[in-house]
Amino acid sequence: MKSKSLTAIFPGTFDPITNGHIDLVTRASLLFPRLIVAIAENPNKKTLFTLEERVNLASTAVEHLLNVEVIGFDNLMANFAQTHNATVIVRGVRTTHDFEYERQLAEMNRALKSDLDTIFLMPSIAMGFISSTIVKDVAYHGGDITNLVPLHVKTELLKRLT
């Protein structure tokens, strides 16, 4: 059952947003009355798309989900959560390696903001192998990414890579 005041955050780099991300966002949007897709400006990652471009691509991809908004950010997740009155972080976990990394982040976020919990969602079987890195690699080498990303993302990705 949804709490009337609960805000959750689904953070990531989303370079670019994939159908795997959208699957998790869609499922999380059913669990929380307000879900923020928080797109990180991470100076430690070299992204193909700018923060503004990633926000625009994601916004278009989830515009059909009325309780979801997309916001770019460049600070600590705990600070972002505080600013937006969020108490839950939603993360997708595909492998045990993902889990170990995400567990560390969850513990750090909770150390920084004691009321900030993290919930892990498993991707659907059909989406579990998809990552932004794999999508970019397949596209770069001429493979078909039609079933991996929304059409508008495919169009922009192919423009960027050619």
C-beta atoms surrounding 147 within 10 Å:
10
Q: Which residues, in sequence order, are bridge partners of residue 72?
A: 39
Residue 162 marked as a ligand binder: no
Per-residue pLDDT tens digits of the chain, which is 162 residues long: 445 579 999 999 999 999 999 999 999 999 999 999 999 998 888 999 999 999 999 999 999 999 999 999 999 999 999 999 999 999 999 888 889 999 999 999 999 999 999 999 999 989 889 999 999 999 999 999 999 999 999 999 999 997
Q: Which residues, in sequence order, are bridge partners of residue 68?
A: 35
Told to judge if 141 belongs to the known catalytic residues of this protein, a careful annotator would answer no
Distance CA 101, CA 84 (A): 24
Amino acid at 4: K
Contact by Cβ (8 Å): 78, 113: yes
Of 29, 54, 113, 132, the active-site residue reads 132
Chain-centroid distance of CA 154 in Å reads 17
3-state DSSP assignment of residue 161: helix
Told to judge if 84 belongs to the known catalytic residues of this protein, a careful annotator would answer no
Give residue for tokens 């970019």.
136
Of 4, 45, 46, 159, the active-site residue reads 45
Told to judge if 3 belongs to the known catalytic residues of this protein, a careful annotator would answer no
Q: What pLDDT was estimated at residue 44? A: 84
Distance CA 83, CA 75 (A): 11
Told to judge if 94 belongs to the known catalytic residues of this protein, a careful annotator would answer yes
pTM of the predicted structure, to 2 decimals: 0.93
Domains in the chain: ranges and CATH: 7-128 (3.40.50.620)
